[in-house]
Amino acid sequence: MNSYLSISKEVKEALERGKPVVALESTIISHGMPYPQNVETALRVEQTIRENGAVPATIAIIGGKLKAGCTKEEIEYLGKKGQAVTKASRRDLPVLISRGEDGATTVTTTMMIAAMAGIRVFATGGIGGVHRGAQQTFDISADLEELAQTPVMVICAGAKSILDLGLTLEYLETKGVTVIGYQTDELPAFYTRHSGFGVDYRLDTPEELAAAFRAKLDLGLKGGMLVTNPIPEEYSMPKDVIDKAINEAIRQMDTAGVHGKQCTPFLLAKVKELTGGDSLDANIELVLNNARLAAKTAAALMK
């Protein structure tokens, strides 16, 4: 594995010295936002983690290497190349590595590479889940399977609201994944704070989050833990507005015949278009909010 995994000097030193490290995904850079906002946001997220006492480790696949910690130049490269970079899930890793190609890591592959490097906390925007209509399509994100088997705490703003949130929670329950609401009893729905669905437990401080995850690790229990952190109130979009945009985006996706790994980028782009860019602003703020909490939780975990 060492021949494939490349840990940056800063991240390696932090891990060796017992300093808190927070993993970050790269799909949000290549597929989640347009250039240059994607690069600007990625660097702001890294800076936010530093300001809150941890070391950022942006994760990606570059030239067939699993990178735990990207340089500013590598982030710029991923941002400029954009969707020409393969959106890399678990199934893609063997071919991308053997061919020496690039890959933007999803929640799944970020968890995998973080675990290989010894990083326990990961901040992202929203996780994937059970897609609407999955009863017919069987379209279920690999993120849920990874949460069931890889020992990384994922801090997010809930599942993306383009998904079937009820079925996503049912799937996570079946897989034994604890879903925690940070300072909330309700599952946040990415762009909005409210979904109408409850979480398994509410915890109110980074120290409580760290203690719960430490207990899981000490017990040797398989899998990760999902922390859902609501978007700040001032950036939360009205549920009826975002639901209307999502329903129209799904209608357009079905008409266009989009399926598989292209669904999420298509829907996010359409929702952005239908909301006049408000959804992109909300997306940036919720990622920064998750980064702050992840840094504080990682610091508490190291204590």
Strands 5-7, 103-105: pairing is unpaired
Residue type, 211: A
134 exposure class (CB count in 10 Å sphere: 0-12, 13-18, 19+): middle
C-alpha to C-alpha distance for 172 and 100, rounded to whole angstroms = 34
C-alpha to C-alpha distance for 293 and 242, rounded to whole angstroms = 25
Active site annotation includes 160: yes
Q: Please pick, among 74, 87, 146, 160, the residue that the annotation labels catalytic.
A: 160
Q: DSSP state, 32?
A: I
Q: Please pick, among 25, 46, 76, 146, the residue that the annotation labels catalytic.
A: 25
C-alpha to C-alpha distance for 120 and 18, rounded to whole angstroms = 12
Active site annotation includes 25: yes
C-alpha to C-alpha distance for 283 and 44, rounded to whole angstroms = 13
Longest dimension (CA), the chain: 53
Say if CB 105 and CB 88 are below 8 A apart. Answer: yes
Tell whether the torsion through CA atoms of 257, 263, 269 and 272 is positive or negative.
Answer: positive
249 exposure class (CB count in 10 Å sphere: 0-12, 13-18, 19+): buried
The torsion angle over the Cα atoms of residues 245, 169, 265 and 41, rounded to 10 degrees, is: 90
Q: Which residues are catalytic?
A: 25, 160
